[in-house]
Amino acid sequence: MDGEEMGGAKVGVRPAIGDHDAEAVLIVRTFYENEPIWQAILAELRQPWGENDEFETRLHIVDDLAWSGATAGEVLAAVRAAEAGRYFYIVDSTAVRHSHFAMLAVEIAQEADPLSGTTREVARTKDTFRLEPAAVGEVHMLLSLGERGFGEYVDEANRDSSGIVWSAF
């Protein structure tokens, strides 16, 4: 089988995302047309954050041209295969073209199959949000610790006039 079904569309096979520290933030680059913007996004992601810049974000960056144009479903398949956590962040064409580099945040959620009674992992693209790179470390930490829920961030982005979650710092 050379793909899997996601929402009725066939998903192509992408390369493995590699060994991934479960506590590191998984960033997948899927748009390759503007290298200077990509470098600016990386610089923001690597900045310390917190009230006194006391936190550094551990990152796992997937930067491979084979991921060019990948969908959230394709990234989900690789994240599942690598057992790489519940959340991932995509630097897609929207992020590169957005004035604040609004990356896509995706949650791997459990969905019940009413026919079999089993659950499966899905990427809910309708329940995603965008965030600036400076917010990624804090958002990921609060999600991982259960301090905030993914839906709270979806709501926060929906209330924002720009449609994104901003860093508190």
pLDDT digits (tens, 9 = 90+) for 49-68: 999 999 999 999 999 999 99
Domain 3-165 CATH class label: alpha beta
Rounded-to-integer distance, Cα 82 and Cα 121, Å? 13
Q: Looking up tokens 């600016």, which residue turns up?
A: 40
96 DSSP 8-state letter: H
Kindly report the pTM of this predicted structure: 0.85
Domain boundaries, the chain: 3-165
Q: What is the pLDDT of residues 12-36, one digit of tens each?
A: 568 888 877 778 999 999 999 999 9
Contact 103, 89 (CB under 8 A): yes
- pLDDT at residue 4 tops 60: no
For the record, the structure tokens of 15 come out as 């390369």
8 A C-beta contact, residue 12 and residue 52: no
**Tens-digit pLDDT profile for residues 126-165:** 689 999 999 999 999 999 999 999 999 999 999 999 999 9
Q: Which of 72, 83, 87 shows the shortest CA–CA distance to 153?
A: 87
Q: Give 20-76 as a DSSP string.
A: --TTSEEEEE---S-HHHHHHHHHHHTS-BSTTS-B---EEEE--GGGTT--HHHHH
User: What pLDDT shows up at residue 54?
Assistant: 96
Distance CA 24, CA 153 (A): 19
User: With b meaning 16 or more CB within 10 Å and e meaning fewer, what string describes 80-115?
Assistant: eebebbbbbbbbbeebbebebbbbbbbbbeeeeeee
- Collapsing DSSP states into helix, strand and coil, what is residue 139? helix
- For residue 18, what pLDDT is reported? 80
- Name the most confidently modeled range: 4-13, 30-39, 112-121: 30-39
Distance CA 64, CA 16 (A): 10
- For residues 36 and 73, which has the higher predicted lDDT (pLDDT)? 36
Q: Given this model, what pLDDT does residue 11 score?
A: 45
